[in-house]
Amino acid sequence: MFDDTMSFDLLSRGRAAAKAGEKAEAVRNLNHCLSLEPANDVRLEALYWLSEASDDLKVKRDCLEEILAANLGDARARRKLALLDGRLKAEDIVDGDHIPAPAIGSSPEAAAQAFTCPKCGGRRVFAPDGQTLVCEYCETQEKVAHKQAHPDQGDDFLVALATAKAQRKPVTARSIHCSGCGSIFLLPPEIITLICPYCGTPYALEQVELRELDAPDSIIPFQMDANAARAAFASWLHQELPGSAAKIMSIQGIYIPAWVFTLGGQIDWSGRIYHYNDKRWSPVSGSRVVGEDNLVIPASKRLDPEFGEVYSQYDPSAAQPFDLRYLANWMAETFQIPAAEASIEARSAAVERMRRDIQANEVSQSVDQFLMRTTNLLVTMYRLMLLPLWLGAYRLEGKSYPLLVNGQSGQVLAHHPKRGISGWLDKLFE
């Protein structure tokens, strides 16, 4: 008890001295505190303030690495180590509540890259293979050089979170801000008119703005054209609503934005189970190392929440590094949810998935009073990815219903009519 009291007293003195800039006094008290082998929480706090007070870079690094070895989720230590390694600069750190506004461009060069044929000057579009630009007139082809994006590639989330990068919302090089639904779309140079795929509002060239672009990190190219998308829906219709006379009203290809996160760390859990033989409760606990790759989270709120599962249907490992040429004949929606906000959803999704897995596989029966400690669960990497989607609607019995077709796999999501299904079934057995 005496050692505990003395350790805490030495920690308090050392911390106060470090904050006051009295480094020699701080180092003396903190080293004395650590020599007493205090409780773990006191030891980690003493190590942090020793790293602050010491002028020896090796001591600083040793202290921070010892903290992270015991608690990977210590954000202070991770940030300080990033500063020490040069991955983060002090002048780049911003207050999350006061993010500097992005600049608005005024020069057409911001969107100057044109997709014209070098032989005849005709317009070039992307073929459904997602790799070839094809001239619509002379059929000259150009392969887009690319390499597969490694799932671990991305930005360090801690560093980005400390700067404006993970906080800032985007504006685009050549964009339309839909007054009908609020969506913002990035446009390739060839498109001079468009209809918003979400609300049907029409636009013309005069309404296009030039703005600075926060470019995506990667993209999954379209693997199917409009005819293939319609065929996929026809197959879905045959299986889900056999005998119906549904017709596609419209279908439009668009890239939708998503954040792809990598999470790591450890989750500790505890609870109790009931022993029916001797009618008693006993405690249970454990830990699980977390390694979540390619967790896809929406970066826009425009899709109906009922279609949220579409994001889990993509294979991010097939993504390519972003290249403007992939947008030669497609619109692309910009992200409206910043990475910092989306990371909270990613973390919640990983925790819920881990909760179900632990309760299903760690013990042979349900766990009562189940608790999880997630302080050591971290978002380590992130990237912004564009996903190919065919967005449309179909009409049945005088009503229209939305439909989606995954532009990578061809999977279909569509609203079922709430009424009329029993009527179709009755007709099948007449």
The reply to whether 322 falls in a domain is yes
pLDDT band at residue 422 under the 50/70/90 scheme? very low
- Residue 158: predicted pLDDT: 52
Whether residue 77 sits in one domain with residue 158: no
State yes or no: pLDDT of 269 exceeds 70.
Answer: yes
Query: Which of 87, 119, 139 is the C-terminal boundary of a domain?
Result: 87
Provide mean pLDDT across the span 128-144.
Answer: 62
pLDDT band at residue 424 under the 50/70/90 scheme? very low
Provide mean pLDDT across the span 350-377.
Answer: 83
- Residue 430: predicted pLDDT: 41
Whether residue 284 sits in one domain with residue 364: yes
pLDDT band at residue 35 under the 50/70/90 scheme? very high
Distance in angstroms (rounded) separating the CA atoms of residues 410 and 246: 19
State yes or no: pLDDT of 284 exceeds 70.
Answer: yes
The reply to whether 407 falls in a domain is yes
Number of domains into which the chain is organized = 2
Whether residue 411 sits in one domain with residue 324: yes
For the ranges 187-191, 268-272, 274-278, the maximum mean pLDDT occurs at 268-272
Residues in CB range of 218: below 8 A, 6 or more apart: 149, 153, 260, 316, 319, 320, 321, 322, 383, 384, 385, 386
pLDDT band at residue 389 under the 50/70/90 scheme? very high
Whether residue 373 sits in one domain with residue 227: yes
State yes or no: pLDDT of 27 exceeds 90.
Answer: yes
Whether residue 329 sits in one domain with residue 195: yes
- Residue 425: predicted pLDDT: 41
Query: Which of 68, 87, 106 is the C-terminal boundary of a domain?
Result: 87
Domain harbouring 23, CATH code? 1.25.40
pTM: 0.62
Provide mean pLDDT across the span 15-43.
Answer: 91
The reply to whether 116 falls in a domain is no
pLDDT band at residue 110 under the 50/70/90 scheme? very low
- The percent of residues in the chain predicted with pLDDT above 70, rounded, is 68
Whether residue 163 sits in one domain with residue 19: no
State yes or no: pLDDT of 206 exceeds 50.
Answer: no
State yes or no: pLDDT of 123 exceeds 60.
Answer: no
- Residue 111: predicted pLDDT: 33
Map 88-145 to HEC letters.
CCHHHCCCCCCCCCCCCCCCHHHHCCCCECCCCCCEEEECCCCCEEEECCCCCEEECC
Whether residue 358 sits in one domain with residue 230: yes
Lowest-pLDDT range, 5-19, 227-241, 362-376, 385-399? 362-376
Whether residue 156 sits in one domain with residue 74: no
The reply to whether 318 falls in a domain is yes
Who wins on pLDDT, 138 or 312? 312
- Residue 14: predicted pLDDT: 93
The reply to whether 98 falls in a domain is no
Whether residue 285 sits in one domain with residue 394: yes
Provide mean pLDDT across the span 137-166.
Answer: 54
Query: Which of 47, 70, 87 is the C-terminal boundary of a domain?
Result: 87
- The percent of residues in the chain predicted with pLDDT above 90, rounded, is 20
Whether residue 260 sits in one domain with residue 170: yes
Who wins on pLDDT, 107 or 221? 221
Annotate 374-391 with b (16+ C-beta within 10 A) or e (fewer): bebbbbbbbbbbbbbbbb
Whether residue 251 sits in one domain with residue 331: yes
- Residue 355: predicted pLDDT: 87
Q: Which domain holds residue 58?
A: 2-87
- Residue 120: predicted pLDDT: 59
Per-residue model confidence as pLDDT tens digits over 54-71? 999 999 989 988 888 777
Distance in angstroms (rounded) separating the CA atoms of residues 54 and 57: 8
